[in-house]
Amino acid sequence: TFVTLRISVIGTGYLGATHAACMAELGYEVIGVDVDKAKLESLAAGILPFHEPGLPELLRKNVASGRLRFTDDYEDVAANADIHFITVGTPQRADSQSADLSYVDGAVDSLLEHITGDALIVGKSTVPVGTARRLSEKIAQDAKPGSNIAIAWNPEFLREGFAVKDTLRPDRLVYGLEDGRGLELLREVYASVLAQDVPEIVTDLETAELVKVAANAFLATKISFINAFAEVTETVGGNIKTLADAIGHDKRIGRQFLNAGVGFGGGCLPKDIRALQARVSELGLTQTMGFLGEVDQINLRRRDRVVSLASNMLGNELAGKHICVLGVTFKPNSDDVRDSPALDIAVRLYNAGAEVSVYDPEGNANAAGRFPRLNYVDSHQEAARNADLTLVLTEWQEFRDLDPNELGEVVASKMLIDGRNVLDRPAWREQGWVMTGPGEYFELNSNNAATGPVPVQQ
Ligand code: UDX
């Protein structure tokens, strides 16, 4: 007889809310678990506290069908689910670069207090290598007599903006197992995903934990790699996009994640490369991930570059200047401003005395929650009104589609920094705009920097 899988998903943030809705969509009985009652109520009412295309519909449909419900009661969770996915956050600690594991430990402790029978705990959160092994020891020590609890690690690679697709049709599924236990259940959970020819990688706990951080470290390195070359072309001349295209044709390199810009941000890449360095140092391998310190520094210098260019374009005086900031999220199609280069740049300009007007299609509210003193407005036209300088910092389609003539009519001065290299610079220059962007040699009064090599200035 077929028995419906009973699943709990602990931690209903970005990852957990997505995972819970997707598991219910696959037909399972799912309980979403969190300590935040307000969040649970909102999710139960079908309202997501963040922007993610396609997810609200999935949430509402599965709540309505009764397959998905929410609770903060671990007794209920232990009694009514057999597979427990841990999807809580592992934020950077306030006092160091390492990851704060208190939510992971808290979730496991709460489960161990209540589980009395067979169960599988599946970690999905991004954790320092060695965490799963430590949790396995905790389980051996603290599990209730008579219970039989296995642990597995099943890292998640979802991107914001593609969370549903990345969950239901991932590039690969990875399970780290302790001794083979859990494999059958995981295969059952993901049967319809695997049926789409998604590669399945079965490995040990440590490898599974490392796959996740290695992937994110590689992506971060790729971005900083091209941004380092942007620093070179900014000095010597050359075209960073053409360079990326040309090396990207080599299949071993690939064109993706080679867009020079204001750098990477968000809830994962910055914190993950820092946590990895911290963990590896703890293991006595201080030099091993040292290059990630450089990756981080290159990334942060991108912001300095925009701030100093802005100052330079405004006559080395930011005080009292009106700056229009288009885009504050860490990337388009998201409302997330965590570690956002765009928001950081806006705040730094404000702190230097500029009047900063901000427009983002989805990110205004979250940005205002963190930095209420910027002037948040409802349209790009309004943000640009009387601007002495305009910055495009997140590549929303709306900004890619900006019309140089239309924008030229509302600004005080046709000056622009294209922080993501998404505007057709010659077309804009033809309309009288003075502009530049990452990787471009730029001298204020020449404004023809994109054309041809420029001699190195000594
Ligand atoms: C990332 C990983 O892609 C995902 O697999 C993991 O699970 C979580 O972290 P996400 O944070 O949603 O996902 O964003 P992603 O699309 O990877 O972009 C990260 C940052 O890099 C953004 O700030 C983006 O603007 C920046 N970026 C990306 C660049 O600056 N240049 C590029 O070429 C690509």
Q: 152 C-alpha to center of ligand 1: Å? A: 26
Q: Report the distance separating Cα 358 and Cα 77, nearest Å.
A: 43
Q: 271 C-alpha to center of ligand 1: Å? A: 12
Average pLDDT, the chain: 96
- Look up the CATH architecture of domain 229-436: 3-Layer(aba) Sandwich (3.40)
338 is in an annotated binding site: yes
The pocket around ligand 1, CB under 6 angstroms, is made up of 157-160, 216, 219, 223, 257-259, 261, 263-266, 268-269, 330-331
CB 103, CB 34: distance < 8 Å: no
The model's confidence at residue 444, banded by pLDDT at 50, 70 and 90, is confident
Give 252: exposed, middle or buried? Use CB within 10 Å, 0-12, 13-18, 19+. exposed
Please spell the DSSP secondary structure of 9-73, one letter per residue: EE--SHHHHHHHHHHHHTT-EEEEE-S-HHHHHHHHTT--SS--TTHHHHHHHHHHTTSEEEES-
Q: How, if at all, do strands 148-153 and 173-177 pair?
A: antiparallel
pLDDT at 2: 58
Give 104: exposed, middle or buried? Use CB within 10 Å, 0-12, 13-18, 19+. buried
Q: Report the distance separating Cα 53 and Cα 372, nearest Å.
A: 26
Place of tokens 């000056």: 415
For range 313-341, the mean pLDDT = 97
259 is in an annotated binding site: yes
Q: 346 C-alpha to center of ligand 1: Å? A: 20
The number of C-alpha atoms within 13 Å of 294 and in the hemisphere containing its C-beta is: 11
List the residue whose alpha carbon is closest to atom 28 of ligand 1: 257
Q: Is the pLDDT of residue 457 over 80?
A: no
Q: Which atom of ligand 1 is nearest to the CA of 266?
A: 11
Q: Is the pLDDT of residue 131 over 90?
A: yes
Maximum distance among all Cα pairs of the chain, rounded to whole angstroms:
79
Single pTM value for the model: 0.95
Residues 6-50 pLDDT 10s: 999 999 999 999 999 999 999 999 999 999 999 999 999 999 999
The alpha carbon of residue 33 and the mean position of all alpha carbons in its chain are separated, in whole angstroms, by 22
Residues 68-85 pLDDT 10s: 999 999 999 999 999 999
pLDDT at 3: 77
229 is in an annotated binding site: no
Residues 400-443 pLDDT 10s: 999 999 999 999 999 999 999 999 999 999 999 999 999 999 98
Hey, do 6-198 and 229-436 end up sharing a CATH topology, with the first three levels equal? yes
CB environment 79-93: b (16+ within 10 A), e (fewer): eebbbbbbbbbbebb
Residue in 223, 272, 303 to alter for ligand 1 test, most ligand atoms within 8 A of Cβ: 223
Structure tokens that stand for 392 in this block:
């495009």
Q: Quick count: other Cβ atoms within 10 Å of Cβ 11?
A: 27
DSSP assigned state of 150 = E
**Distances 56 to 158, 193, 267 between C-alpha atoms, Å:** 17, 21, 21
List the residue whose alpha carbon is closest to atom 7 of ligand 1: 157
For range 344-360, the mean pLDDT = 98
Q: 1.10.150.20, 3.40.50.10880, 2.30.180.10, 3.40.50.720: which CATH number matches 6-198?
A: 3.40.50.720
Residue 182, sorted as left (phi over 0), alpha (psi -120 to 50) or beta, turns out to be left
**Percent residues over pLDDT 70 in the chain:** 97
Q: Report the distance separating Cα 383 and Cα 238, nearest Å.
A: 32
Q: How, if at all, do strands 6-10 and 29-33 pair?
A: parallel
pLDDT at 181: 95
DSSP assigned state of 88 = -
pLDDT at 458: 47
Choosing from 5, 30, 150, 268, the catalytic residue is 268
List the residue whose alpha carbon is closest to atom 34 of ligand 1: 257
Strand, helix or coil at 322?
strand
pLDDT at 447: 56
CA neighbor of 402 nearest in space, from 412, 393, 411, 392: 392
* Active-site residue flag, 22: no
200 is in an annotated binding site: no
| In the chain, where the domains are located | 6-198, 229-436
Place of tokens 């671990």: 74
**Distances 290 to 218, 273, 287, 294 between C-alpha atoms, Å:** 14, 10, 5, 7
CB 56, CB 34: distance < 8 Å: no
The alpha carbon of residue 457 and the mean position of all alpha carbons in its chain are separated, in whole angstroms, by 38
Q: Is the pLDDT of residue 143 over 60?
A: yes
Q: 269 C-alpha to center of ligand 1: Å? A: 7
Q: Report the distance separating Cα 185 and Cα 7, nearest Å.
A: 11
